[in-house]
Every structure is written in C-alpha cells, then in structure tokens.
Amino acid sequence: MRNRTNYSASLSSSVVNYPVEYGRRYHAFRPGSYAFPNDELEMERMDVAHALMVKSIGNRLFLAPLREATLHRVLDIGTGTGIWSVEMGDIFGNAEIIGNDLSPIQPGWVPANVKFEIDDVESPWINEHKYDYIFCRYMLISIQDWPRLIRNMYDNLNTGGWVEIQDMDGLYYSEDGTYTEEHATRQWNKQYIDACEAMGRTARPGPQLEGWAREAGFQNVTHEKFKAPIGPWAKNDHYADVGMLNLIQLLNGLEGFTLKIFCGFLGQTKEEVMVLLAKVRKELKEGAFHAIFDHHVVYAQKPFETEEGNEGAPPPV
C-alpha cells in the first residue's frame, strides 16, 4: 500500500471513471475487489453505519487506550466517506490521520491533519514511516486474506502501537425465537453469507478477529462483543436507538449489498432479486421478528522491543 500525500492532486480518469451496474455506481480502481456501490445513496448509508457503530460501542470512536502524547500517525483502513478520519482529526489535532480507500468519495474540506489516499489495502504495503495506531472497521466481504492483512498491520506499526478492528458477524439470529426459517430475511441472509464464503470474502469476520490478532504476534489483545438489534423493538433505550440506526442503514443498503453478489456471482436475474428484497423490506418495516447481529471489537498492541532487539515488555518509564 503506497503512501501518498494527497490523492486530489493526481486523480486519473481510471480512478473516477465509475462503472454502473444494476443501476448502481461502483468503484473503478481495482474493479471487482469490493462488491458494494460507491454512489450517493451508499455514501449516505455509510454515514448512518458510522453512527450505528459509534452508538453501539458506547458513543465512542475507538476503544484502544490511545494516548495523545504518543499518537503521531494514524491509518484508517477502508475510510469510506472519511467521516471517522475527520472526527479523529478534530480530536487528535497533532496527529497525522491518513484514510485509505478504493474510491475518492471523501470530502475536500477536512482538518489540516487529515489526508486521504486511494489504494488497495490488500496490495503490498510500501510506507516510509510506520503508524502508531491502525484502525479498520466494517470491512466484511471486502478482504480475501484477513490473516495477511493483520500481519501487514503488525509489520507497519511502531512498537507499542495499537491496532483496532471493528467488524461484525453477519449472521442474524434472535433470542426469543421470533426469527425463523420461514422469513424471507433469513433466506436472504443465508444466501448472502454462503455466497460471500464461496467468493472467498467472509461476511463473518468478527468472531475470528481475536485469533488472527494473536497469530500475528500482538499482545494485550482485548475482544469485546456488542449486540446490534435490527429495528427499534428493544425495551432498553440504548438498544432501541441502535436498532433504529441499524434498520435505517439496512433498508437503505439492501439493494447495494445484494445486487452484485446475487446477480453477478449467483447468476440470479435482477427481477428475481428485487422480488426477494421486497419481501425482506416488508418484514423489516413491519417488525416481523426480533433479529440481532453482533459487532466485534478487537484491539491489541505491538510488543515493545527490548534492549537486545527482541520484542517484549515495555521499557521502564
């Protein structure tokens, strides 16, 4: 992944010449490596998903124990609309925040310490300087080789630096038995997960994040799980708010999530897909069940180097 100072100065037509498929606009750089659209409707959904993730984990942008004094360089993998990078830039004014994405859809007016680069995070990483914190969120079905990505994070962190990955387990479930095999939403969810697995891009990275982080060599690994109801049916106010945000982003994203995978990979017609999605949308709007999925957050630290050059305990203060 190459380090660039500012993508806006050198955007080529190949990056912004977006293809349109199934009535939606998709990224042009490394076409086919990301199945979601990048059009205005999807950008709006991304910002709702940002609010969902922040609300879900307690109105926080991150959980890692960051210290402003030691935070100089931050990488936001798969920045999307750049909203997380911009908010982090406001909080950590002395840190350089770099957001990476396949699409140049980020805003032009951002804090002076925030920059964006266009590149594929699964290509080789070529950086002049390492990072103090690497953040990766909501990349399900986007990554072919998660263990390699997390090893690259490890290799490109300064010793003592932190990585944080926030992602979901895309399998819906219910705790009260209201979500059954008879529901079109369950049928859609199963087809979606199975198709993503067949494509080699899992829709269920969340439960595996901790193991991948430990295998990469990280220490002080912490794994937290947060429930995300679908719809505002929960009695608890927090979960009702999370559920409403989740319902909005899901309704707005159904077509974008589904069309390219079901039509392009499974070979279904657009008409067939739209019939199924109409049933799913009806169930979601009617609150036909109490479904949930889980957000997983894993943050971990790269060990400090000892005097002998081996990695181990932090140096004395």
Is 250 within the bounds of a domain?
yes
- For the chain, the average pLDDT equals 88
Is 87 within the bounds of a domain?
yes
Is 288 within the bounds of a domain?
yes
Is 131 within the bounds of a domain?
yes
DSSP sequence for 168-227:
EEEEEE-SSS-S-TTSHHHHHHHHHHHHHHHHT--S--GGGHHHHHHHHT-EEEEEEEEE
Q: What is the mean pLDDT of residues 284-313?
A: 84
pLDDT of residue 31: 57
Which tens digit of pLDDT belongs to each residue from 180-222?
A: 999 999 999 999 999 999 999 999 999 999 999 999 999 999 9
Confidence of residue 176 (pLDDT cuts 50, 70, 90): very high
pLDDT(20) > 60: yes
pTM of the model: 0.89
Is 2 within the bounds of a domain?
no
DSSP state of 263: I
For 126, 200, 291, 310, the CA distances from 288, given in Å and listed in that order, are 49, 32, 9, 56
Query: 294 with 226: CB under 8 angstroms?
Result: yes
The more confidently predicted of residues 36 and 155 is 155
Is 1 within the bounds of a domain?
no
pLDDT(308) > 70: no
226: β partners: 295
Percent helix, strand, coil in the chain (nearest 5)? 40, 20, 40
List the domain range (segments joined by +) for residue 192: 7-312
Q: How many domains does the chain have?
A: 1
pLDDT of residue 119: 80
CA 279 to the chain's CA centroid: 27
Is the sign of the CA dihedral 109, 112, 117, 122 positive or negative?
A: negative
Is 262 within the bounds of a domain?
yes
Is 280 within the bounds of a domain?
yes
CATH number for 96: 3.40.50.150
Calculate the CA dihedral of residues 47, 49, 54, 59 and round it to 10 degrees: 80
